[in-house]
Structure 1
Amino acid sequence: MEYKAKYITPDIKLSWYEDTFFKSDIMFDHHMLIWFISGETKIVQTDATYIFKKGDIFLIPRNQLATIINYPKHGQPHKTVVMHLSVERLRTFYANLNVKPKALESQKIYCFTKHPLLESCLSSLIPYFEMKDLPKDIASLKITEAISVLRAIDKSIDNILANFEEPGKISLIDYMEKNFMFNLSLEKFSYLTGRSLTTFKRDFSKAFNTTPQRWLTRKRLELAHYQISEKNKRPIDVCYEVGFENLSHFSHAFKKHFGYPPTKLTE
């Protein structure tokens, strides 16, 4: 895989992949505003799967778990403009505004495809990637413009952007049962459940009577078995969607657990 990126600032970048695909399991620390230039992305969350392609614009809220698979398409690389909307910048933006965000039970991915204001804002960044030095105040103005446009076209977006709360302590069993397929570090899982790493491991042992690593592997393999046998999915697709890094590791773990390779289910 060949990955390339050009930055206007650490918060604004043009990125592209030129291999067959790139997969990652991610929990973003910042809101991510993304404009697709070419290629395709598949985003798998607990309760939804999205496909994004050329021309699409979408916002991924922070602290959301997702499996992201990027593909080149029609002979063109996977290429996007990405803007980070950090908590620090948003605190400054909202400091003098009387906004009281409503608590949300869940946060979805927001789609803004073909909106002329937002498309104009993001496409105007392209010439800046050819400059070696861009004044910080101009880059800051472009991010402020993007936030302002988001607020103009979706009144509910304040409930996301102006919410600065950190994850509180929640039910470990409920959260892990819903999100085990995301291949994140234990540090990330502990943060998202409102615990220190030590407390997370202790609570996990009490709740599941095993280690996180063993439980996660078993749950992912059981889900993979179901997806292949009952949903007729291909092992190579299931492998990445249930939290494994590559097909070889997945096939080895599957055979060790069930006694036969995943391909036997497709015969």
Structure 2
Amino acid sequence: MAEQYRNKFTDIVWFVTEDKLFKDEIILEFHSFVRIISGEMKVIQADKSYLFAAGDTLLFPRNQLSAVIKRPKDGRPYKAVVFGLAIERLKTYYTKHKFYSTSPHEQKVKVYDPHPLLESFFVSLLPYFDLKERLPEDIATIKMEEGISILRSIDKDIDSLLTDFSEPGKISLPDFMEKNYMFNMPMKKFAYLTGRSLSTFNRDFKKAYHITPQRWLTQKRLEFAHYYITKNNVKPNDIYLEAGFENLSHFSSAFKRHFGYPPIELVK
């Protein structure tokens, strides 16, 4: 499991490290500003995938459903620094600063080219992990303003994302599930992202599909894996994580139960 270290004396930054392959589904309640130090991270979303390596900088929007696969590279573990842009801090910032409304933002990962301001900002965060006393609130506020100001200087459209404080509303359940079935997360998260309570989600799902959510998800993930193995000539151990399974053994046994033969037969 990935180790996430946040110094108890500050709540704005933490350090993530992993010395072996690790996969997780994430949906954060805050925007996260990330610098990859070493290793690599693959981010899989409903309509796009990204591959990040050492030196890359990205911004994860809040409430953004993504699967992340982190692994060591070139003999070095995966390491990253994460700076959290919490909603309450953003609200405080924008009560004091004028914002510029541009076109509606897209809920997708933002990727930034190398820039001296980004380099200096993330380097300045590293000593925070050695704090032995509480980071003064006025310094945390200054650091937050610095991070937001840098984003605004290199991304002229960022205000439309950072000033969107709305929560997910009720959306089409079939449309959402068809795009996001490969994400392995609790049903209450699926319910939340479609703007429903868990009981309403289960009722609406059964009305739409006439099957339980878990059974439908398993079938969809197996069909996805079958398609990629046959059409793209990939090996089972290269696709099971992206298909939403936690380990190769579980994937192989579920595949055989569903199709009547193990996935390796498709490779042969």
Q: By the TM > 0.5 criterion, same fold?
A: yes
Amino acid at match of 1:78: Y
Q: Distance in 2 between matches of 1:131 and 1:98?
A: 33
1:42·1:68 contact (CA, 8 Å) conserved in 2?
yes
RMSD: 1.6
Displacement of 1:246 in angstroms is 1.0
Aligned pair in 2 of structure 1 residues 249, 266: CA closer, same or farther (>3 Å)? same
Q: Distance in 1 between matches of 2:222 and 2:201?
A: 23
2:105·2:160 contact (CA, 8 Å) conserved in 1?
no
Displacement of 1:103 in angstroms is 6.5
Displacement of 1:34 in angstroms is 0.3
Aligned pair in 2 of structure 1 residues 164, 149: CA closer, same or farther (>3 Å)? same
Q: Within the alignment, does 1:264 sit opposite 2:265 as a pair?
A: yes
Residue equivalent to 1:73: 73
Q: Gapped runs of 5+ residues in structure 2?
A: none
Q: How does 1:110-149 map to 2 (within 5 A)?
A: 110-133=110-133, 134-149=135-150
* Deviation readout 1:157-191 (Å, 9 max, x if unpaired): 01111101111111111110011111111111111
* Deviation readout 1:186-218 (Å, 9 max, x if unpaired): 111111111111111110010011110010000
Q: Distance in 1 between matches of 2:184 and 2:59?
A: 22
* Deviation readout 1:11-46 (Å, 9 max, x if unpaired): 30122112x211001112111110111110011111
TM norm structure 1 = 0.94
Q: Distance in 1 between matches of 2:25 and 2:35?
A: 20
Number of residue pairs matched by the alignment: 266
Q: Distance in 1 between matches of 2:255 and 2:142?
A: 51
Amino acid at match of 2:137: K
Displacement of 1:116 in angstroms is 1.0
Displacement of 1:9 in angstroms is 1.9
* Deviation readout 1:47-82 (Å, 9 max, x if unpaired): 111111111110011111111001111111111110
Amino acid at match of 1:40: E
Q: Within the alignment, does 1:209 sit opposite 2:203 as a pair?
A: no
Displacement of 1:87 in angstroms is 1.1
Q: How does 1:1-267 map to 2 (within 5 A)?
A: 1=1, 3=3, 5-7=5-7, 9-18=10-19, 20-99=20-99, 101=101, 104=104, 106-133=106-133, 134-267=135-268
Aligned pair in 2 of structure 1 residues 2, 69: CA closer, same or farther (>3 Å)? closer
Displacement of 1:106 in angstroms is 3.3
Q: Gapped runs of 5+ residues in structure 1?
A: none
Amino acid at match of 2:68: I
Aligned pair in 2 of structure 1 residues 4, 197: CA closer, same or farther (>3 Å)? closer
Amino acid at match of 2:10: T
Q: Distance in 1 between matches of 2:173 and 2:154?
A: 36
Q: Comparing 120-129 with 203-212, which one deviates more in the overlay?
A: 120-129
Displacement of 1:4 in angstroms is 5.4
TM norm structure 2 = 0.94
- Give the SS at the match of 2:51: strand
Q: Distance in 1 between matches of 2:157 and 2:239?
A: 35
Displacement of 1:128 in angstroms is 2.3
Q: Distance in 1 between matches of 2:246 and 2:101?
A: 37
Q: Distance in 1 between matches of 2:198 and 2:148?
A: 34
